[in-house]
Amino acid sequence: MNFNWCAGLFVVLALVAPIYTACPKENQMCLRNGTYQYCDGEERYFTDELKQTNLVYCASMFCEPEEFQHDYITRNHDQTPHQNKWKRARIGERATLHDVCLLRNGMPVTRECRVQDNRAHWESTEHWDPVVCLRRFREHTISGDLNSLHDDLLEGRRRTNDTQGRRAMTGIMRDMFRQRDRTLLPADVHMTGQMFGTLMLQDKDATVSADLVSVCKEIMSCDSQVLRLSAQLNATNSLLSQFESYMDALPEQLVPKDRCGKVVAKPTSDATETAATGVETYNFSDIGVQALITGNISVFFANPECDRITGIAIFSAPGEQRKTSASGYWYRFIRYTEDLAKVKEEAHLETAAFLPENLWRQVNGRGATYLIFKVYAHDALFVETSLQRTRKPRSKVISISIPGLQSNLLSLPLPFLLRNENLRNPDSKAFTFGSGCGYWNYETWSNEGVFTESSSDLLKDAIIECHTYHLTQFAFLVGGSYRTNDLGEEVLITPINEKVLDIISIVGCSLSLLGILGIFLTAALFKSWRSQASTKVLLHLSLAMCLQMVLFVFLNTDDVSEALVVNGNIVRCVALGAAMQYSILVLFSWMLIIAFLQFQRYVTVIGIERPPRYILKAAIVAWLLPLVPTLLVALIDPDSYVPTAAQLSTDTGICYPSGYGLIFGVVLPVTLITVSNLVIFVYVFYSISHSLSQSVHKNEKKMVVKQIRLSIMLFFLLGLTWIFGIFAFMQAGVAFSYLFCITATMQGFVMFIYFVLLDSANRRLWVGLICPTKMEMDVQKRHTELQSMTTSSTNYASRSHQ
């Protein structure tokens, strides 16, 4: 890792006038009074307000990319190792990985770039738990595309050193956020803040302003839980700070002095641009104002030297001199000669702020030329991480910036007005104590340095008058005791395929259990059917299938497995996993036996002689042989049944074999049996097809068609649907996972349809049980038809004899 160093010591004495010093080199980080500041080639003021001397060290501001290995969770809830790489990061920034790596709560796996021995240094991962994360998730998330765009930006694959390149990049990012039905994750908020930070290191470009406003507007509309989680990485503060700083660097391009007084066309927003960005752009450059307006956030740039405009007022209804917007509110500009009391009395006022003439003259004399006002419709981006709060905003948030000032402190108060939204929607928890005007300090809402006009009851005043001696974001705060629920490890994202597959599996297994119940009920009610040899084999298969599905759906769930592991019941977890393994192997043993019997029936038809008590012998083999691999795995590697901590944290772990126990104890025998059954199925299908080609009589063809229908049934009966599961295990594609879950879980239901509903003999048995009268009528009708046919034949024979 290479570092750029500036050796030496800067001793700055501010005795008479402010002293400036230039950063020694671009892209360095300088330490001043324990605080690290970026050096971007511009001059910086290294003395503090107390005129004390400052010690400044400069070093490389970046931690360079570094290799990192972790595991991905696959579609089969298994884990696969992956070699990844940390992205380049600035000091104080939490870097993400080159390949998307997300936790189940939507948070990215991050690593902080710190300072150690005056050097940029990665946070140590020595004591980290093994990292297991997701790469594939909801199809409607933008995390993957946003991550790729961020990589292109960091690695220089996307040109951003000119207006066209920057506009192309921000346009792509804007379109990602404006997609319909997309879901934002905490990782997206974090990555967007990083991209804004990268843009801050380049030339500021007014042409991208609408795109940046559009992105922030969309983020403000996302779920509050997403923003709260992203705030744990300081993502909301980073995004807010970068956005504000970028906007503050644009007024010289948007409202330059040379445009003052020049008449422009009617300042209507360009319809095409508005449709693309969702931002209304109004150009009032003749009076020194430019506006970017949306329903969530609006930015107003003002040059008071053009027409003495030093403020903005927002209204909820139309009125005289008010301009309209498609975002649902009205606004007008305030000149520094206006009276605050009259502005306060205007109807439907939501918020207003302006610099009176004496304050403007003073800040103008200190180097200020422009003013920027940002109006946030709500406090979505102002997220407190504390669970307990004593106040919260109940108004719009207004931000006031004055570029050019060397300090945000003002010698005269700046007035602003806020509507008390507690009157519209009263908060039962709110009380007067602690209420008043406040500001955001990028950690919590505070009221230091902000003064509220005295009132008998702030909670009942419609318009709150405030005064501030410094510049930042302001809101009206109501006091109270507000507790926010701890999100903890709440899962915000579930892979959509996994969620759908879970639903399909549960529905399919439930139908199969109903089908198996129907088979057992039919056997219990009708002795003539259950006494058949084929029915006895079917009942054994149904029992094995029922055992497997009950374990899967009800007993061996992720919640049960997690409870067993957390409570230390490892033996019970092993027993439960072994039972699951055993039930699957028993099921496949019976399917292999059925395949052999079908082979004898349809291929080697001549000379078949069943051995005595063959069903009993088959049952002994099918129920006892699976104990061998099950006991081997349980005795040799019992830990393979216990889910890992990473699987439990992502709700993907059950008590079931993993690793070599899964491969040799389940996958290998299942694969061998499935391949054997597939070979037998091909032989049987060929035999049936060959019989069809040689059939000449109509009745024979009908019989063969019936046998073809039987071959389709055999596909389910022999467990050939598990072929899809084997391909899914080999990660051949998500389509195989869907095919497997749809077909394999429906096996019991299909068996019920074929052996009970479609079997004519069983239908007659059920009809006779449910409607015995109809059965007697059908028997009498068939007897009458037979008697009639017999009589007709006798008469015909008599006439022929005569």
- β strands within 186-320, DSSP E: 280-284, 289-293, 297-302, 309-315
Q: In what order do the strands lie in the sheet with 330-335?
A: 323-324, 330-335, 309-315, 349-354, 409-419, 463-470, 450-452
Residue 211 contacts residue 169 (beta carbons within 8 Å):
no
CA angle 616, 622, 625 (to 5 degrees): 120
Instruction: List the domain boundaries for the chain.
Output: 249-491, 494-763
pLDDT digits (tens, 9 = 90+) for 592-636: 888 887 777 666 654 455 666 777 888 888 889 899 989 998 888
Ranges of residues in the chain whose predicted pLDDT is under 70: 1-60, 74-78, 136-139, 263-269, 387-388, 390, 426-434, 455-457, 479-499, 558, 601-612, 644-653, 688-719, 729-734, 772-802
DSSP string, 414-470: EEEEEE-TTTTS--TT-EEEEEEEEEE-SSSEE-TTEEE---S-GGG-SEEEEEEEE
3-class secondary-structure state, position 552: helix
What does the pLDDT read at residue 509? 83
DSSP state of 102: B
Q: How far is CA 547 from CA 88, 279, 524, in A?
A: 53, 60, 19
Token pair in block for residue 514: 């109903």
Q: What is the pLDDT of residue 415?
A: 95
DSSP 3-state assignment of 335? Answer: strand
Tokens of 773: 């009268």
Dist CA 421 CA 424 (whole Å): 5
DSSP state of 58: E
Per DSSP, the three-state class of 514 is helix
Distance CA 412, CA 414 (A): 7
Q: What pairing do the DSSP bridges indicate for beta strands 66-73 and 132-133?
A: parallel
CATH number assigned to the domain covering 249-491: 2.60.220.50
Pairing verdict, β 297-302 and 79-86: unpaired
Q: Please say whether the dihedral angle defined by the alpha carbons of residues 565, 571, 574 and 578, taken in this order, is positive or negative.
A: negative
Model confidence, pTM:
0.63
Q: Which amino acid is at 505?
A: S
Residue 143 and residue 445: Cα distance in Å, rounded? 31
Q: Are 656 and 644 in contact (CB under 8 A)?
A: no
The pLDDT of residue 114: 87
- Predicted local confidence at residue 427, as pLDDT: 64
In total, the chain counts a number of residues equal to 802
**DSSP helix/strand/coil, 86:** strand
Q: What pLDDT score does 3 carry?
A: 32
CA distance 717 to 751: 7
What would the pLDDT profile of 121-160 be if each residue is shown by its tens digit?
899 988 888 888 887 655 578 888 898 888 888 877 777 7
In the block, which residue shows the tokens 């830990």? 639
In percent, the amount of the chain with pLDDT more than 70 equals 74
**What is the SS3 string spanning 724-775?**
HHHHHHCCCCHHHHHHHHHHHCCHHHHHHHHHHHCCHHHHHHHHHHHCHHHH
Residue 86, φ and ψ in degrees, nearest 5: -70, 140
**Is the distance from CB of 306 to CB of 255 less than 8 angstroms?**
yes
| 1.20.1070.10, 3.90.1300.10, 3.40.50.150, 3.40.50.720: CATH of 494-763 | 1.20.1070.10
For residues 445 and 477, give the distance between their C-alpha atoms in angstroms, rounded to a whole number: 8
Alpha carbons 398 and 475: distance in angstroms, whole number = 7
Place of tokens 């219990």: 524
SS3 478: strand
Q: Which of these, 103, 94, 83, lies nearest to 191 by C-alpha position?
A: 94
Query: What is the Cα–Cα distance from 408 to 418, expressed in whole angstroms?
Result: 21
Q: Is the dihedral of CA 401, 404, 410, 414 positive or negative?
A: negative
Looking at residue 419, what is its pLDDT?
92
